[in-house]
Each structure stands twice: as structure tokens, then as C-alpha cells.
Amino acid sequence: MSIYSNPAVEHYADRFMLLGLARAGINLLQYFANPKRCEAWARYQQLRLERHGFSFDQYLADPELGEERALEPEPPLQAQHAAILRLWAGQDTGLAPRGHEEGAATLPAGYPPHPEDYQDWRELLAQWRAEAEHAERPLAHLPQRNGAYVEPLHHHRHCRSAAANFAKRGA
């Protein structure tokens, strides 16, 4: 066991806390034994390079490459990949799958819906037109100006009293 001076212990302890090495599973004695390797291990854990298929030995050999690899997007999980495929299928057709009725067989999670489950675009347009007509029905009696509904005014355009007529007063 080595003996360290107080300033060295304080320096390494402060650095240990600053870098958060305890989160990487390193204790203070391990850090004192090999500070450089422990800091590299903590950085490797922080960058989550194992998810990119990058080993710690590769990181020690070329840390710059590891830093670049960490900037690459992580591959999606299987559940995320299945959701991506379902969304792509919906985007390709432009329509969302129909809701399943009660008692209907459902596909296991991760499988895209069958193309017959997608809505027909003609049905969707007819539904939208019906909804628009239903929403416009209460406004149908109002006058329109350039396609915009205008509420009728229930007052005179220029409501002036006789006292405001300067021509009659001879002003």
C-alpha cells in the first residue's frame, strides 16, 4: 500500500468526485492505484461505447475514434425497430391502420398490420367532407364575403345625430 501526501489525496479525491467515477463502479482505492486507466474506464462507460460494439481495449488504443463513435446514433432496440417499421408502413400509404373491433384477432407486438387493415383513402375523404359539412351547417345562414362568413351588422353604418350635421347648422 502506498502512502500519499495530503495535497495529493485531496487532489485525487476532488478529481474522483468531479468526474463522478463512483457512477462507473470505481472506488477511491482503485482510482489511487491507476488514475489514468480509471478515468479512461469512466469515460468509456459515460460514452456507452459498448452499445456501439467498441471494446474498452479499442478505446484505450484510440480514444479519439471512440469519441467519434459515441457521436453516431445508437442502433434502436427491437421494440423501437418494430415501431419504426409500423410507422414507415403508415407513412408509405399515408393512412393509419384501422382500429380492431372487439373480439378480432390482433397481431403479436412487433408485426406490422396487414395492408387490408389500412383505411381506404376514398372513405377517409368522404368522412372529412361529412365532418366539414356538419361543422359548417350552423353557419350556413350567415352571409359570406370572399368565402368568409360575415355576421350581419345590426346598427347603422354612420350613426350621427342631427346635432352633428354641420351643413344644417350653417357652420
Enter the C-alpha cell of residue 84: 419504426
Residue 61 burial (CB count, 10 A) = 10
| Model confidence pLDDT, tens digit, residues 9-43 | 888 889 889 888 888 888 888 888 889 999 999 98
Q: Give CA–CA dist 118/131, Å, rounded.
A: 20
Enter the C-alpha cell of residue 63: 480514444
* Percent of the chain scoring above 70 in pLDDT: 72
Q: Give CA–CA dist 69/131, Å, rounded.
A: 51
Enter the C-alpha cell of residue 49: 461505447
| Model confidence pLDDT, tens digit, residues 80-127 | 998 888 778 766 665 655 554 444 455 566 666 666 666 677 888 899
Q: Is-above-0.75 flag for pTM?
A: no
